[in-house]
Structure 1
Amino acid sequence: MIKKLAASALVWPALALIVLLAVNVVLTPSFLSVRVQDGHLFGSVIDILRNGAPTLLVALGMTLVIASRGIDLSVGAVVAVSGALACAYIAASPEPAALGTVVGATGIALGAAVGLGLWNGLLVSVFGVQPIIATLVLMTAGRGIALLITDGQIVTVTSAPFKILGAGYASGLPVAILVSLSVFALVGLLTRRTALGMLLESVGINPEASRLAGVRHRTIVFTVYLFCALCAGVAGLMIASNISAADANNAGLWIEMDAILAVVIGGTSLSGGRFSLTGTILGALIIQTLTTTVYTAGITPESTLVFKALVVVAVCLLQAPKFRLLMRHLWRRPTRPGPTSPTDTVSAQPVSTRASAMAAK
């Protein structure tokens, strides 16, 4: 039982998360406390879940892309474009607080995200462009598009309905958490209760073999890039809604790196194939908890990337079978030989020597 538990890819991310939470409890004894105010839950743990919801959404889409043996570096740009379009539309509307205005802004933002996902999927699955190159183009161009939409300015909005997605509450919990968990449940249902997950893994393990087996690998690859962009679009709306503004320069900046790190920490292989959605959730929580820990410890925010790198390297090494085998070998103490008796000395001699000695007696 213990060996099976130690072999699980989720053990080390879970332990890393527990250690980070313990460090925060030492720094702030009331860190895990949750209070109810005006029917809503508040506390550091709730803040971690709410602030980590956009990263979790992007990481879920990234998990499927990586499982198909791909990568998407453009999610940060999609986040910026989505938030910029929504805020620009609301700011230009004569009735920014109207529900219809918010619905229209959301539709435009998500439509643009889907269009960008179609572009990535077309380049990768149809034209055979390397995923890192295809998405790197949009990573650069998308940020420029967001800056063009906002004229390089921070567009602020005042709209109560728009603020619900990023800062609103439902049933006592932040709406952002509920949306992220709903997407997680939907993806888990589709990939673990249907044949979609198996087909996706087959495409990631061996695309040519899956094609020869009759799997429409291009359709699957096209779909995962589309879904990843859609998740990034929703995350962009969350970020813009939370701060009631669109900052094309900083919105979604480095979120693609956080998403990739969360996927890797969760145990999904970058070479494609088998993936873990639960591991991705743990990875996203580790990333957000680590950021909170750095702030709580009074460390400068510029050092956050360094600490992220250290934690990721540590968790990935603990997950690597060769590293664990090496550590067991180093910590294994050599057994000391006990004192030898005359009987042991005789028994250790060759058979011919013992026979000669017995004949002499």
Structure 2
Amino acid sequence: MAKTRTLQKKNFMDIFSGKQILIPIVALVLLAVFNLIADPSFYKITLDVNSAGNHVLSGYLITILDYGSELAILAIGMTLVTAASGGQDISVGAGIAIAGSVILRVLCGTNSRPDHLQAPIIVAFLVSCVVAMLFGAFNGILVAGFKIQPMVATLILYTAGRSIAAWINNNELPVISDPSFGYFGGFIPGIPIPTPFFIAVACMIVMGLVMKFTSLGLYTQAVGINESSSRLNGLNPAFIKFLSFVILGLCVAVAALIKVSRISTINYSVIAKDIEMDAILAVALGGNSLSGGKFNLPASILGAYVIQFLTTTLYKFNVKSEAISAYKAIVVIILVVISAPVVREKFASFSQKMKVRNAKEVG
């Protein structure tokens, strides 16, 4: 019996020290238990009729699924950028404003209040993808080509992006009246689950296939762990970093489509405000090192939904919007401390001592 308990302790320590996804799972369980105790109605889901007359599911869990999906999409690209470059892109919010403005510009043409769409939605989306990827490439060139620290390099677009977005539409606020445009950020008639969730699942599947059938994941980790060694092994670190920013740009375009579709217009100064912080926090909550190297996409995606779970919980208990950032800052501090090298070293040392002790007990 004693031997069995010792082996169980050993297995638990191995799991705790080796699984990145355990961090967001623990955070999710803590939030779930807190809400269950504080207010069980948090988990209530009802079938309601929305403004368009469609039957849709509603409730706090549906809100998490809805808004967490766009954050999950961004977390995919942010994870690759973090792993490859050892830094973060703080311009994704401004990038969403630009890509969203491009979508509306293509759909509206020269008239900010068109009676009908001036171009197919797919065309507007593809144009926004190209524009967002170009801005991602711009950030990538600064980081990979000019060796500028990622957060400093992306500060340029972070500062100027929203002004560029307003300039694209001549400082006007275009409005789309076609109800089909609202499907991407809302609900498709006859389907009660939010469309952003399906878009996020599609992005996850595509990225999963890319990781499975290409060496992108391996190359990204190799560059993030040791750039010099990866170069000696025939890789091109600059190109891998550049590519990660381009992929993030594509994720930004998808998130922009969802964002502008929700309200069929845009507010340049408010849209996706501070979303870059949530995306970075999702990566950190996924147990990924913010200094680059090994990464876990599923953990980052789960981290994104946990962040939205936290945000929704705070709103549920009437926390003021301006105070929510303070609560998230506390989470950031905890995650940064946990991921600090000195903390990791102490935990690794403690884990090793426990293994030695357990081995002696078994012996």
* TM-score, with structure 2 as normaliser: 0.82
Report the equivalent of 1:76: 93
AA aligned to 1:28 is D
- Quick one: which of 60, 72, 76 aligns to 1:56? 72
Which range moves more in the overlay, 45-54 or 167-176?
167-176
1:162 aligns with 2:181: yes
Q: CA-atom RMSD, angstroms?
A: 2.7
1:185 offset after TM fit, Å?
2.3
Question: What is the match of residue 197 of structure 2?
Answer: 177
SS in 1 for 2:185: helix
> What is the alpha-carbon distance in structure 2 between the residues aligned to residue 276 and residue 84 of structure 1?
32
Q: Quick check: 1:29 aligned with 2:45?
A: no
CA gap of 1:121–1:288, structure 2 versus 1, over 3 A, is same
Secondary structure of the 2:155 match is helix
Is this contact kept in 1: 2:72–2:302, CA < 8 A? no
8 Å CA contact 1:97–1:160 kept in 2: the answer is: no
Tell me which structure has the larger Cα radius of gyration.
Answer: 1
Deviations 1:294-341 (A, max 9, x none): 1111111111001111233335545668658979x9xxxxxxxxxxxx
User: Once structures 1 and 2 are overlaid, which stretch shifts more, 115-124 or 34-43?
Assistant: 34-43
Matched with 1:130 is: 149
Alignment deviations for residues 11-31 of structure 1 (CA, whole Å, 9 cap, x no partner): 232121122123333343222
Contact preservation (8 Å) 1:68, 1:203: yes
Q: 1:278 to 1:96 in 2, by over 3 A?
A: farther
Residue 269 of structure 1: CA displacement?
A: 0.5
Correspondence 1:237-252 to 2 at 5 A: 237-252=257-272
Indicate whether 1:6 and 2:16 are aligned: yes
- State the Cα deviation string for residues 262-287 of structure 1 (Å, max 9, x = none): 10111111111100112111221121
Q: Which of 79-88 and 18-27 deviates more?
A: 18-27
Could you tell me how far apart the structure 2 residues matched to 1:32 and 1:319 are? 32
> CA contact under 8 A between 1:54 and 1:238: conserved in structure 2?
yes
1:144-159 matches, within 5 Å, as 144-159=163-178
Contact 1:83 1:240 in 2 (8 A): yes
For 2:92 and 2:332, locate their aligned partners in 1 and report how far apart those are by CA, in whole Å.
Answer: 20
The answer to whether the Cα contact below 8 Å between 1:123 and 1:129 also exists between their aligned partners in 2 is yes
Distance 2:346 2:139 in 1: 41
5 Å-filtered alignment, 1:270-285, equals 270-285=290-305
Measured after TM superposition, the shift of residue 73 of structure 1 is 1.6
Instruction: Give the Cα separation in 1 of the matches to 2:218 and 2:346.
Output: 33
- In 2, the alpha carbon distance for the partners of 1:193 and 1:166 equals 30
Quote the Cα distance in structure 1 between the aligned partners of 2:150 and 2:326. Answer: 27
Distance 1:24 1:304 in 2: 17
d(CA) in 2 for partners of 1:134, 1:49: 32
Change in CA separation of 1:196 and 1:104 when aligned onto 2, cut-off 3 Å: closer
Distance change in 2, residues 1:100/1:15 (3 Å): same
Superposition map of 1:1-361 within 5 A: 1-7=11-17, 8-36=19-47, 40-69=56-85, 70-92=87-109, 97-98=116-117, 100-169=119-188, 171-317=191-337, 323=343
Cα pair 2:282 2:304 within 8 Å, conserved: yes
Deviation at 1:56, TM superposition (A): 1.3
More moved, 128-137 vs 36-45:
36-45
TM-score after normalising by structure 1:
0.83
Say whether the 8 Å CA contact 2:185–2:262 is kept in structure 1.
Answer: yes
Unaligned runs of 5+ in 1: 330-361
